[in-house]
């Protein structure tokens, strides 16, 4: 004890009847054992502990951080991957009926138009290579495009391309039942090619993956069609061109209008095929 100290200096500031010679490392107040919180160096009093907790940044769960706006995690890509794999596991359960409930068969378009989209999430049960190649391509190019475009634009690209593939099947192969994400995947290829050409990138890896996905069309039991590939790649390229032409922030309204017009155009083609052609 220093020569200038008093007895009152050596009692807990919260419990005046308890003597102590231990000081809070932050504020210097005397604290008894019941009021001490061990810190990296020394101890802290209850008030300093409370202030430190309030000042410390809140750490959110990893899942919440991944979904935050502006995050770098390819949430849409990985969600689609997980959904397709989960549905495939349900498909291979004997008697589940998942495939027949979600596949796209053009004669059902009038009564069950949602199949034009749901078919993107089911794959052939007869060949595991179908889902493997599609998910491999999505795993390679999805995060790249999602990081480049943003989550909402990437999702619009994926769904519109898949829808375009179904429209092409309706127009060119109206009696073919199809399954698979190939139309959407080829849409990613089309958009990636357009964007990469603008940026002057190397397209070798892209052509390799496109070749692999074309090749699986010749495997027995895959039940996929070149029509879906064609429709998907055309729509994907168009979406990529729209994004390139409207990439400045002040062009956001125009971008939404053009993407909406493309979607409406695909719906109109569908209606013309159903009721006119």
Question: What single-letter DSSP state applies at residue 256?
Answer: H
- To the query of whether residue 15 is one of the catalytic residues in this protein, the response is no
CB atoms within 10 A of CB 145: 25
DSSP labels, 78-100: HHHHHHHHHHHHHHTSTT--HHH
Gap between the terminal Cα atoms of the chain: 100
Q: What is the gyration radius of the CA atoms in the chain, in angstroms?
A: 30
Q: Rounded distance, CA 105 to CA 90, Å? A: 20
Residue 77: predicted pLDDT? 96
Residue 99: predicted pLDDT? 93
pTM: 0.73
Q: Rounded distance, CA 66 to CA 45, Å? A: 36
Instruction: State percent of the chain over pLDDT 90.
Output: 51
Tell me the domains of the chain and their CATH numbers.
Answer: 19-54 (no CATH), 77-275 (1.20.1540.10)
Residue pair 159/142 in contact (Cβ under 8 Å)? The answer is: no
Residue 207: predicted pLDDT? 72
- To the query of whether residue 261 is one of the catalytic residues in this protein, the response is no
Q: What is the pLDDT of residues 68-124, one digit of tens each?
A: 555 678 999 999 999 999 999 999 999 999 999 999 999 999 999 999 999 999 998
Q: What is the pLDDT of residues 207-221, one digit of tens each?
A: 776 676 666 666 655
Instruction: State percent of the chain over pLDDT 70.
Output: 82
Q: What is the pLDDT of residues 110-164, one digit of tens each?
A: 999 999 999 999 998 888 888 998 898 899 889 989 999 999 999 999 999 999 9
Marked catalytic residue, from 166, 182, 203, 225? 182
Tell me phi and psi for residue 37, to 5 degrees.
Answer: -120, 120
Residue pair 166/116 in contact (Cβ under 8 Å)? The answer is: yes
Q: How high does pLDDT run on average in the chain?
A: 85
């Amino acid at each position: 004890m220093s020569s200038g100290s008093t007895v009152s200096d050596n009692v807990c500031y919260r419990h005046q009847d308890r003597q102590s010679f231990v000081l809070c490392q932050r504020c210097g107040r005397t604290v008894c054992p019941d009021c001490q919180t061990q810190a990296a160096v020394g101890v802290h009093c209850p008030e300093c502990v409370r202030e430190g907790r309030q000042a410390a940044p809140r750490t959110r769960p990893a899942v919440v951080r991944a979904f935050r706006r502006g995050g770098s995690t390819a949430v849409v890509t990985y969600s689609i991957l997980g959904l397709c794999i989960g549905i495939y596991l349900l498909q291979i359960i004997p008697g589940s009926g998942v495939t027949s409930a979600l596949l796209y068969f053009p004669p059902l378009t009038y009564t069950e138009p949602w199949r034009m989209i749901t078919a993107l999430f089911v794959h052939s049960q007869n060949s595991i290579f179908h889902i493997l190649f599609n998910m491999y391509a999505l795993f390679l190019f999805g995060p790249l495009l999602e990081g480049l475009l943003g989550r909402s634009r990437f999702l619009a690209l994926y769904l519109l391309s898949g829808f375009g593939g179904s429209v092409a099947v309706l127009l060119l192969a109206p009696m073919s039942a199809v399954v698979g994400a190939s139309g959407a995947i080829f849409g990613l290829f089309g958009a990636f090619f357009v964007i990469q050409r603008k940026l002057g990138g190397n397209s070798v890896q892209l052509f390799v993956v496109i070749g692999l996905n074309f090749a699986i069309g010749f495997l027995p039991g895959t039940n996929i069609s070149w029509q879906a590939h064609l429709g998907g790649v055309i729509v994907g390229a168009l979406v990529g061109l729209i994004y390139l032409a409207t990439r400045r922030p002040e062009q956001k309204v125009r971008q939404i209008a053009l993407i909406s017009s493309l979607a409406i155009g695909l719906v109109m083609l569908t209606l013309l095929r159903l009721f006119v052609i």
